């Protein structure tokens, strides 16, 4: 019956079987083109594009397959030429494989509006009767669990509360408390991709005690909520709205006085969304500097060293503006090492970098003389001591300051590992965590990651598996004119590395649901990716050289599309290997 079912699947896809004289055991996920070529070579089958011939036995096999699937929980449903295969969803939302947190499978998607968890737009792009390889579905489940664990609303609700007559901050071993009777006003301020969820959770925790506030958020998340205004701002490149939000927050904090509590909600992306150029520098000049850093592949620490010294608000300057008010900063970290001074360029944290460090960054990436002259002039004046430095740890600005990490990349990694441990199937699975591993150039990092995965697989006993979970954030040195992001670039480099390998797979994606200037969070690759691409006339090496990962994975149906998740703790790469 397996052979009859396969023949029927070929017929539905336009193949016409002339003769069959052999029995085949096929690996799940084998491309139709490869199977058609095998049939043509071995049995004389020929293509009949557009023809549809289903034999009696083929139809019988199809009906039987449907009945068995329905009986045991695998249901194929839908109408016309857009069926859906409903699969297990660990978030409690039934979606198709191409849906929320799913895989893109076809260039012409059908859209369904979904306002449920994560705000993701479901994109059902699954071809008829496609079966998702177990590794792909498995890695998606692990990624889902990781993103769910860093839900900003849940993290803030756990850290901030009113306990009787006391406002309490309690997170990651940091505890602070202020009696309500001693407070004059509570203000909410902040910026970042998770700003809306963090702000709403803080409002829910503090209620009518909040006097007002301003939080810079991504476009689409703006709007008022009670006394707090969520202001749209630019990302990844600052814009005039980033300037307006920064100036509004700066003004609010400067008016705060003794007896006030400012709760600052800071997450990744806040650097761009909270952007007020220092005196003598325009928004355009600052934006051009950051475009050059992006194109050069600068890491986040390098970015921040420059940002802080071209800003009125970064590098602890908002903490200085808020004095003498009490300030609590709740931080959702998207940076390696979770250094508060690096998260969103540390607007409420002491700055260990100097003007000289900023000049060194531009020189190291070879763009010092490419940045606008006003930028070079300000950095040189600062390095010469003609401008005040950003506040350092002993500055009085930090006397009333408390910072607490409410969520990190490691939080997401641990959640993915826990999900793995709970659903181990036959055989044992070794789980290896690699915090901070994702750094440097994406291609080089993918090479190292696949090397580790291969080495770990070689040490396995038959039937056992190994999973690697890496966190961090890589960079891309842009050499071509293609479309993609750092996670898609990583996955494409992994596809080249794993070509022809056995049961090995990699999924890499951003926890914010955004990877470069695309609508994808990342991509999936395994040992069959290169062969499947070749069957479509795609060259993975050529696409890699042109930084053109997006159309490559879109054609294969291996983009990971989540929509904006509302959180941001950098990226995850999950590798899986099994020894048969």
Determine how many CB atoms are found less than 10 A away from the CB of residue 109. 17
280-283 LR contacts (CB < 8 Å, sep 24+): 280/374, 280/377, 280/378, 281/310, 281/372, 281/374, 281/375, 281/378, 282/374, 283/238, 283/239, 283/240, 283/242, 283/243
The neighbouring-strand residues paired with 522 are: 509, 560
pLDDT at 14: 45
153-274+312-349+392-407 under CATH 1.10.1200.10, yes or no: no
Q: How crowded is residue 354: how many other Cβ atoms within 10 Å of its Cβ?
A: 18
Query: How many whole angstroms separate alpha carbon 217 and alpha carbon 233?
Result: 6
pLDDT for res 294 = 85
Strands 522-526 and 401-407, sheet pairing: unpaired
- Biggest CA pair distance of the chain: 88
DSSP class of residue 387 equals S
Kindly state the helix (H) or strand (E) to which residue 145 belongs, with its residue range.
helix 134-149
The series of mean pLDDT values per 10 residues for the chain, 580 residues long, is 40 46 54 47 37 44 51 38 30 31 35 28 31 76 96 97 96 95 96 96 96 96 96 88 95 96 96 92 89 88 91 96 96 93 94 96 97 97 95 93 97 95 73 95 97 94 93 92 97 96 93 95 97 96 97 97 94 94
Which candidate, 511, 551, 488, 489, places its Cα nearest to that of 120? 511
**Closest C-alpha among 191, 279, 284, 275 to residue 241:** 275
Confidence (pLDDT) at 501: 85
Contact in structure between 539 and 533 (CB atoms under 8 Å): yes
Q: What is the pLDDT of residue 100?
A: 36
Residue whose structure tokens are 């309690």 = 170
Question: How is 10-55 classified by DSSP, letter by letter?
Answer: HHHTTEE-----------TT--HHHHHHHHHHHH--EE-TT-----
CA distance 51 to 80: 17
The CATH number fitting domain 84-150+410-578, selected from 1.20.1280.260, 2.30.110.10, 3.40.1480.10, 3.40.630.10: 3.40.1480.10
The answer to whether the predicted template modeling score (pTM) of the entire model surpasses 0.85 is: no
Please report the pLDDT score of residue 425 as a whole number. 59
Tell me if 84-150+410-578 shares its fold with 153-274+312-349+392-407: no
pLDDT one-digit tens code per residue, 153-165: 999 999 999 999 9
Q: Where are the domains of the chain?
A: 2-73, 84-150+410-578, 153-274+312-349+392-407
Strands of the sheet containing 465-472, edge to edge, are 102-103, 559-561, 522-526, 504-510, 571-578, 465-472, 429-438
Residue 163: strand, helix, or coil = strand
């Amino acid at each position: 019956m397996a052979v009859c079912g396969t023949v029927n699947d070929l017929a539905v896809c336009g193949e016409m079987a002339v003769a069959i004289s052999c029995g085949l055991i096929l690996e799940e996920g084998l491309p139709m083109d490869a199977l058609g070529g095998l049939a043509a070579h071995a049995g004389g089958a020929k293509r009949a594009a557009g023809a549809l011939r289903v034999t009696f036995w083929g139809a019988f096999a199809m009906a039987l397959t449907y009945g068995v699937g329905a009986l045991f929980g695998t249901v194929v449903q839908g109408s016309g030429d857009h069926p859906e295969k409903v699969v297990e969803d660990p978030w409690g939302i039934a979606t198709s494989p191409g849906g929320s947190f799913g895989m893109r499978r076809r260039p012409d998607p059908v859209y369904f509006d979904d306002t449920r968890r994560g705000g993701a737009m479901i994109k059902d792009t699954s071809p008829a009767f496609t079966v998702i390889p177990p590794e792909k579905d498995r890695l998606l489940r692990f990624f889902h669990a990781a993103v769910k664990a860093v839900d900003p609303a849940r993290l803030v609700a756990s850290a901030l509360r009113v306990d009787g007559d006391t406002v309490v901050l309690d997170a990651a071993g940091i505890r602070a408390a202020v009696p309500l009777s001693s407070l004059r006003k509570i203000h909410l301020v902040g910026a970042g991709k998770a700003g809306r969820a963090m702000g709403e959770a803080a409002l829910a925790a503090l209620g009518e005690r909040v006097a007002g506030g301003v939080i810079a958020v991504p476009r689409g998340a703006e709007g008022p909520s009670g006394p707090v205004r969520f202001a749209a701002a630019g990302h990844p490149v600052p814009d005039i709205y980033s300037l307006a939000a920064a100036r509004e927050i700066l003004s609010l904090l400067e008016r705060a006085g003794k007896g006030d509590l400012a709760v600052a909600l800071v997450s990744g992306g806040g650097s761009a969304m909270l952007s007020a150029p220092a005196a003598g520098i325009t928004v355009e000049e600052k934006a051009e500097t950051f475009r050059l850093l992006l194109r050069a592949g600068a890491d986040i620490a390098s970015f921040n060293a420059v940002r802080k010294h071209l800003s009125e608000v970064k590098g602890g300057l908002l903490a200085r503006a808020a004095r003498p008010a009490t300030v609590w900063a709740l931080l959702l970290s998207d940076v390696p090492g979770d250094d508060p001074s690096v998260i969103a360029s540390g607007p409420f944290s002491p700055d260990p970098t100097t003007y000289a460090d900023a000049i060194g960054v531009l020189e190291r990436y070879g763009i010092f003389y490419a940045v606008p002259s006003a930028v070079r002039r300000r950095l040189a004046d600062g390095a010469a001591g003609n401008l005040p430095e950003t506040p350092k740890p002993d500055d009085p600005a930090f006397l009333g300051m408390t910072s607490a990490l409410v969520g990190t990349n490691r939080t997401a990694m641990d959640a993915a590992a826990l999900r793995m441990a709970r659903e181990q199937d036959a055989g044992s699975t070794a789980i290896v965590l690699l915090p901070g591993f994702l750094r440097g150039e994406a291609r080089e990092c993918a090479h190292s990651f696949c090397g580790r995965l291969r080495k770990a697989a070689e040490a396995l006993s038959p039937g056992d598996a190994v999973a690697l979970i890496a966190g961090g954030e890589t960079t891309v040195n842009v050499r071509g004119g293609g479309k993609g992001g750092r996670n898609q670039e990583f996955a494409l480099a992994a596809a080249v590395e794993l070509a022809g390998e056995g049961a090995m797979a990699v999924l890499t994606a951003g926890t914010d649901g955004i990877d470069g200037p695309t609508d994808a969070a990342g991509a999936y690759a395994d040992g069959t990716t290169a062969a499947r691409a070749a069957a479509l006339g795609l060259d993975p090496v050529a696409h890699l050289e042109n930084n053109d990962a997006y159309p490559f994975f879109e054609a294969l149906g291996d983009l990971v599309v989540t929509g904006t998740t509302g959180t941001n703790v950098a990226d995850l790469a999950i590798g899986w290997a099994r020894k048969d």
